[in-house]
Chains A and B, each alone.
Chain A
């Protein structure tokens, strides 16, 4: 048997790569006669590809049998549409491809794959809400513990609400936002807006306790891609849920403050994001820990990021 790659004519019929209606359309275009004329080597190649595809699918399934079965059923449902007998056929095809691997123990995902999947799941919705907690270990912390609420949108848009410092003032109930081009702040006695181009005067006076770069999910996940080391460890939620924590660390540099580590906590079965935590190391070895607890997706509404006046 040859392991060479297929001719492009029939390699495109490989439905195991992004199974969707395009393959059926290609099959129709190819026609019955052409299928019959496919060389035997093509059939054997398809068989090998589907067999290994089934094994890899079986390997990928997760720790608990309930989660494995749920994932398998979800895949079959995604691959088939009503009427119901299509579902049965899709299930039959899945059994052929996956063998009986669904009944077996699966493997744990790599940290890189968990992070990539968590990012992809977030990208399925455009806007997300987080509760932010800032804690410092410094004895006379310039930034005392505080809680904020943030909504983030694509393209670095965000709205941050809660107690925010502005120059020497501390605004108890205020909002900062950006639509990507303009940065604004709104308090009871204050309203300012400036173009968001690098170090604007406004930006240097705001003390939210958070580096605005962290308010862009794509930048956050890029940190994991750029990190020199990812480590995964199991964790437990407050109600006993099974979680997995991925920690990214970079080679030490001499910048102060510097990021000591970034961690994301995900649901073990689905890899959905639960929390991310940034640990910054400041002067005299004091740490500042910023925790973003994921609240959930919010309806896309770009108007929330524009200045409200």
Chain B
């Protein structure tokens, strides 16, 4: 922490350290033995975080309002799967049991819901940069 330059933003600095650790781990263990987290993928994750930091709002919580709004635009089943999986901290199997669905269906719902949220967040950023309320 004593190497942190307090004039610079904390988030990118912390994520930079995390990125180096992940890449070092990947080099050490061999690419095939870790999750897909090559430089291109990590760059893309970082790009999303930078976009998030450009959203309207002074704080992380204020920017999360955009996500909350986007959540409300998902289909009912997408919302339900996300609430059970994230709010309820259920695993996919239990989420599927609560929704009376197959596990694979729930996984696809979660993935499609997250893709829709990412798209909605991009639209919000784009409108915010254009000054559209």
Give A residues with C-beta under 8 Å from B. 3-6, 10-11, 13-15, 17-18, 23-24, 27-28, 30-32, 35-36, 38, 40, 42-53, 55-60, 85, 88-89, 91-93, 95-97, 99-101, 103-105, 107, 109-110, 112-114, 116-117, 120, 225
Which residues of chain A are within 8 angstroms of B111 by Cβ–Cβ distance?
Answer: 5-6, 11, 14, 17, 49
A18 to B30, CA, bound (A): 23
Report whether B34 and A27 are in contact in the complex, using a CB–CB cutoff of 8 Å. yes
Query: Would you give 13 A-B contacts (Cβ < 8 Å), ordered by A?
Result: A3-B116, A17-B92, A38-B36, A43-B36, A47-B48, A59-B64, A85-B25, A91-B18, A93-B35, A95-B18, A96-B45, A116-B98, A120-B94
Give B residues with C-beta under 8 Å from A. 10-11, 14-15, 17-19, 21-22, 25, 30-38, 40-42, 44-45, 47-49, 52, 59-61, 64, 67-68, 82-84, 86-94, 98, 107-108, 110-112, 114-119, 121
For the complex formed, measure the closest distance between the CB of A4 and the CB atoms of chain B, giving whole angstroms: 8
Which residues of chain A are within 8 angstroms of B119 by Cβ–Cβ distance?
Answer: 3
For the complex formed, measure the closest distance between the CB of A89 and the CB atoms of chain B, giving whole angstroms: 4
A28 to B84, CA, bound (A): 30
Selected from B30, B35, B84, the residue in CB contact (under 8 A) with A116 is B84
Report whether A100 and B10 are in contact in the complex, using a CB–CB cutoff of 8 Å. yes
Report whether B41 and A43 are in contact in the complex, using a CB–CB cutoff of 8 Å. yes
For the complex formed, measure the closest distance between the CB of A39 and the CB atoms of chain B, giving whole angstroms: 11
Which residues of chain A are within 8 angstroms of B110 by Cβ–Cβ distance?
Answer: 17
Report whether A116 and B60 are in contact in the complex, using a CB–CB cutoff of 8 Å. no
A51 to B82, CA, bound (A): 15
For the complex formed, measure the closest distance between the CB of A46 and the CB atoms of chain B, giving whole angstroms: 6
Known: A58-B60, A92-B22, A96-B19. A51 touches B48 (CB 8 A): yes
Report whether A100 and B14 are in contact in the complex, using a CB–CB cutoff of 8 Å. yes
Known: A43-B38, A89-B22, A116-B84. A99 touches B15 (CB 8 A): yes
Report whether A96 and B22 are in contact in the complex, using a CB–CB cutoff of 8 Å. yes
Using CB atoms, name the residue of chain A closest to B40: A43
Which residues of chain A are within 8 angstroms of B52 by Cβ–Cβ distance?
Answer: 51, 55, 99
For the complex formed, measure the closest distance between the CB of B65 and the CB atoms of chain A, giving whole angstroms: 10
Which residues of chain B are within 8 angstroms of A96 by Cβ–Cβ distance?
Answer: 15, 18-19, 22, 42, 45
Known: A51-B118, A60-B86, A113-B84. A44 touches B44 (CB 8 A): yes
Q: List 15 other contacts, CB 8 Å, given A96-B15, A99-B52.
A: A5-B112, A18-B92, A35-B31, A43-B38, A46-B36, A47-B48, A48-B115, A52-B114, A92-B19, A92-B21, A92-B22, A99-B60, A105-B59, A113-B84, A116-B98
Report whether B33 and A24 are in contact in the complex, using a CB–CB cutoff of 8 Å. yes
Report whether B118 and A48 are in contact in the complex, using a CB–CB cutoff of 8 Å. yes
Known: A44-B44, A89-B22. A23 touches B84 (CB 8 A): no
Report whether A120 and B90 are in contact in the complex, using a CB–CB cutoff of 8 Å. yes
Selected from A3, A17, A32, A117, the residue in CB contact (under 8 A) with B31 is A32
Q: Which of A14, A28, A53, A96 has the most CB of B within 10 A?
A: A96
For the complex formed, measure the closest distance between the CB of A8 and the CB atoms of chain B, giving whole angstroms: 9
Which residues of chain B are within 8 angstroms of A49 by Cβ–Cβ distance?
Answer: 111, 114-115, 118
Which residues of chain B are within 8 angstroms of A110 by Cβ–Cβ distance?
Answer: 83, 87
For the complex formed, measure the closest distance between the CB of A173 and the CB atoms of chain B, giving whole angstroms: 40
Which residues of chain A are within 8 angstroms of B91 by Cβ–Cβ distance?
Answer: 18
For the complex formed, measure the closest distance between the CB of A125 and the CB atoms of chain B, giving whole angstroms: 15
Which residues of chain A are within 8 angstroms of B44 by Cβ–Cβ distance?
Answer: 43-44, 46-48
Report whether A46 and B41 are in contact in the complex, using a CB–CB cutoff of 8 Å. yes
Report whether B21 and A3 are in contact in the complex, using a CB–CB cutoff of 8 Å. no
A225 to B80, CA, bound (A): 13
A262 to B41, CA, bound (A): 48
